[in-house]
Amino acid sequence: MAEDKFPGWHGTTILAVRRGGQVVVAGDGQVSLGQTVIKGSARKVRRLSPGGRDVVCGFAGSTADAFTLLERLEKKLEAMPGQLARASVDLAKDWRMDKYLRNLEAMLIVTDGTDLFVITGAGDVLEPEHDIAAIGSGGNFALAAARGLMTTDMAAEDIARKAMAIAADICVYTNGNLTVETIAAL
């Protein structure tokens, strides 16, 4: 595990909220080593456009590992345009079975606006309940806050921003420097 090699690495809260025909993915910018903030403006939410079709991805964990996984996902989506579920399952299978990939330490949230998945190295492709997904150090705080805010009439982006602010107030490994990407349902 990465913590064995690099004890004290923490950081990242990624939150996705689906509401009103769109999905918003928000990620904070903090990367910490022990009690020290190494960087406060990391960009952990990205937009991929394989085959001209947008997919928004957020990642938690090792940056190099996450980029490796995002590149693999992009290639799978190029080979299977418009099939995010199939590409995600194929990626999760490869990640679990491949000798090299199985050592990667990251988690992904991916969406094309219609489908929303959390992909893990354990071979999981999870569809979140309640139209909310969250990963990372402050993921549980952001998830709880977003679930509470879903009872309001707030828009998806407003819920994501408010929930991330709540997580940043509670989790010392999360800051308020957000990257936010919105994608409409197909």
In angstroms, the CA 130 to CA 113 distance is 15
- Cβ 10 vs Cβ 173: under 8 Å: yes
d(CA 111, CA 130): 15
Q: Is 152 a catalytic residue?
A: no
24 residue type, one letter: V
Catalytic residue among 12, 13, 111, 174: 12
Coil, helix or strand at residue 131: helix
Amino acid 110 reads V
Q: Rounded distance, CA 20 to CA 155, Å?
A: 7
Distances (CA, A) of 62 to 35, 104, 154: 18, 8, 33
| Closest alpha carbon to 108 in 89, 130, 129 | 89
Residue 43: CB atoms within 10 A of its CB come to 10
Distance CA 153, CA 134 (A): 21
Active site residues: 12
